[in-house]
Amino acid sequence: MEKQKKGNFDFLTGAISVIFGIIYGIMAFGLKRSPMGDPMAPSIFPLIVSGGLVIFGVVLLLKSNLEATKIAFRKIKENTTANDILSRKMIIMTVVAAIVYALIFHILGYVISTFLFVGFIMSVLEPKRIVKNLITSAIFSIIVYYVFFYLLGISLPMTPILNI
C-alpha cells in the first residue's frame, strides 16, 4: 500500500479550517448590530463563511487521518538537506528584514532603508560578495527612487538630511 505511506497535511489543514472557522464565526456573531435595517445584516455573510469553513474542515478531517500528517512531518524531518536548511534560513531572514524595513521605512526614508533591505537580502543569499551587493543595492534604490518620484510622480518617504 504505497499510497497510505505517503504523508499529507490534509488533517492539519482540516483542523486549521475548523478552528479558524469557529473563531471567525464567534467574532462575526459578536460584531456590533447594524443601527439600520436588519440588525444582523453585517454578520450574516461572515457567519455563512464561517459555517462553510467548519463544514469543509470537518469533511477534510474525516477524509484524512492524523497518521498521514504525522508521516508528512516525519518525512520533512528525515529528508531535510543542507539546502533546505539554507533556504529556510533565507526565508526567515527575509521576513525579519521585511519587518525591520517596515519599521525604518519612514524614519530613514526610502533610499537608505531600501538600500539596507535589498543589500541585506542580497548578502544573505550571496554572503561572499558583500561589497558588490551593497553597490548594486545602492544603485537599485536610487534608480527606483528617481523613477518613482520624478518619472511616475509617486511620493516615497524622503531621506532626512540628504533630502532625497
User: Which residues would be at the binding site for other proteins (CB under 8 A)?
Assistant: 8-10, 12-14, 17, 20-21, 24, 27-28, 31-32, 34-38, 41-42, 44-46, 49-50, 52-53, 56-57, 59-60, 63, 83-84, 86-87, 90-91, 94-95, 98-99, 101-103, 105-106, 110, 114, 117-118, 121-122, 125-126, 133, 136-137, 140-141, 144, 147-148, 152-156
Residue whose CB is less far from other proteins, 101 or 112: 101
| CA distance linking residue 72 with residue 159, whole number of Å | 48
CB of 17 to other proteins, least distance (A): 5
Helix (H, G, I), strand (E, B) or coil at 92: helix
Residue whose CB is less far from other proteins, 4 or 8: 8
CB of 151 to other proteins, least distance (A): 8
CB of 78 to other proteins, least distance (A): 16
Residue whose CB is less far from other proteins, 110 or 112: 110
| CA distance linking residue 124 with residue 90, whole number of Å | 7
Alpha helices in the chain (DSSP H): 2-5, 10-29, 41-63, 66-79, 82-125, 130-146
- Compute how many other C-beta atoms are within 10 angstroms of the C-beta atom of residue 142: 15
| CA distance linking residue 52 with residue 25, whole number of Å | 10
CB of 109 to other proteins, least distance (A): 12
What is the per-residue burial (b if ≥16 Cβ within 10 Å, else e) of 55-64?
A: eebeebbeeb
